[in-house]
Amino acid sequence: MKRRRPAWPAIVLFALAATFAPPCAADEEAQRFVASIYAQYGAPDTQGVVLDSKEALEKYFVPDLAAMIDADGIAAEREDRPPTLDGDPFVDAQEWDIKNVAIVVRDDTPEKAVAIVSFFNQGEPRQVALDLARLAAGWRIDDIHWREGTLRDLYKDRRPPERGI
């Protein structure tokens, strides 16, 4: 008759390994990237993150999302209309007084992470989720999730139709 070994030694070893494992570098880099964004909202009368050029957009967003936002801004100016992104995407508002920012980053893979950012804007609790992607240039935002939708959703209907051959 075969004797079964208890599973608890393996469970204890796994728990110890998980407890003493060094934190993932991606988590720290992603945390610093997101913290650098929200640090620009700390003082009264700050501009926050200024997204007024293609270069500024590329500093924060993955290339295809930066290109969509930039193209829409150019079209809006040409068509004399407000841009689709008519507010600050990082705080989901046109006006802000940001307090008590808390950032939690979860790595999904070495190349992808999600940052949950909680804060108070003008006394109201808010939360946004940033989908992050690691590029050669560093971490960039692939999408932003708000209560009412996502940044990419804003541009779904604005994409040019694909041409068939």
Residue 125: predicted pLDDT? 96
Query: φ, ψ for residue 103 (rounded to 5)?
Result: -120, 130
pLDDT digits (tens, 9 = 90+) for 142-153: 999 999 999 999
Residue 17: predicted pLDDT? 40
Residue 8: predicted pLDDT? 41
- Tens digit of pLDDT at every position of the chain (165 positions): 555 555 444 343 343 344 344 445 557 999 999 999 999 997 767 789 999 999 999 999 999 999 999 999 999 999 999 999 989 999 999 888 899 999 999 988 999 999 999 999 999 999 999 999 999 999 999 999 999 999 999 998 765 545 454
Residue 112: predicted pLDDT? 96
Could you give all domains of the chain from N- to C-terminal order, each with its CATH number?
25-158 (3.10.450.50)
Residue 163: predicted pLDDT? 46
| Residue 92 backbone class (left: φ over 0; alpha: ψ -120 to 50; beta: rest) | left
> Which helix (H) or strand (E) is 114 found in, with range?
strand 112-121
Residue 6: predicted pLDDT? 53
Radius of gyration (C-alpha) of the chain in whole angstroms: 21
Residue 3: predicted pLDDT? 55
Q: Which two tokens stand for residue 82?
A: 């407000």
pTM: 0.78
Q: What is the spatial distance between Cα 160 and Cα 158, in angstroms, rounded to a whole number? A: 6
Residue 129: predicted pLDDT? 98
Nearest to 89 by CA among 112, 65, 109: 65
Q: What is the spatial distance between Cα 16 and Cα 30, in angstroms, rounded to a whole number? A: 25
